[in-house]
């Protein structure tokens, strides 16, 4: 046990020799300022004037299944828009593939993917929005990781809880809103 005591005594004495009260207070000050800046990071909380619940992107109308160029069943994981989704499908939870269920709100922060529409063989830009508010739906879980990227490219990663931008951080389900066609199409 003597070596254990000697080790920590040496470390403590080293810290005492190489630091001062001023440097300690300086580091504490830096930590306090750093922590206080976190709420100012670029995350627009919905409660502070963000998009209202059920809002859509300007110039983008909600899509419905069965219309021209939108084949498939939006309540299945194989639906073409869900190529990059990870979560419960809102179309099984009282919403649609592009609208949140009643009593929830769409997070203004999203992840983006491109999916191939088999009807017209074009790639579409899809915005995957989490719906937030009440308890998780728990139905129709779908995890397709096509074009998913590592966490250092968060805007293309589907493993993040994107409800941090909503007034409630409770995840309910995910939507797949068409933003437009890809340039490569």
Q: Is-catalytic flag, 130?
A: yes
The catalytically annotated residue of 70, 86, 111, 148 is: 111
The catalytically annotated residue of 130, 159, 162, 184 is: 130
Q: Is-catalytic flag, 70?
A: no
**Sequence-distant contacts of 71-79: CB under 8 A, at least 24 apart:** 71/117, 71/118, 71/119, 72/118, 75/140, 76/140, 77/140, 77/142, 77/143, 77/144, 79/176
CA 148 to chain centre: 12
| Integer Cα distance of 9 and 11 in angstroms | 6
Closest CA to 80 of 182, 181, 176: 176
User: Other CB atoms closer than 10 Å to residue 175's CB: what's the count?
Assistant: 28
- Annotated active-site positions, please? 111, 130
């Amino acid at each position: 046990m003597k070596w254990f005591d000697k080790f920590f005594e040496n470390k403590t004495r080293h810290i005492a020799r190489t630091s001062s009260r001023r440097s300690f207070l300086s580091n504490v000050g830096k930590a306090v300022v750093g922590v206080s800046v976190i709420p100012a990071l670029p995350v627009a909380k919905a409660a502070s004037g963000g998009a209202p619940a059920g809002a859509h992107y300007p110039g983008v109308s909600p899509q419905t299944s069965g219309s021209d160029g939108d084949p498939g069943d939006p309540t299945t994981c194989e639906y073409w828009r869900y190529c990059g989704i990870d979560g419960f499908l809102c179309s099984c939870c009282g919403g649609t593939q592009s609208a949140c269920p009643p009593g929830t709100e769409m997070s203004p922060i999203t992840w983006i993917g491109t999916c191939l529409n088999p009807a017209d063989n074009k790639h579409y830009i899809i915005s995957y929005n989490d719906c937030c508010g009440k308890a998780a739906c728990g139905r129709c879980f779908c995890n397709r990781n096509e074009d998913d990227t590592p966490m250092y490219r968060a805007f293309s990663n589907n493993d993040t809880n994107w409800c941090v931008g909503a007034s409630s951080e409770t995840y309910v389900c995910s939507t797949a809103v068409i933003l437009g066609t890809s340039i490569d199409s």
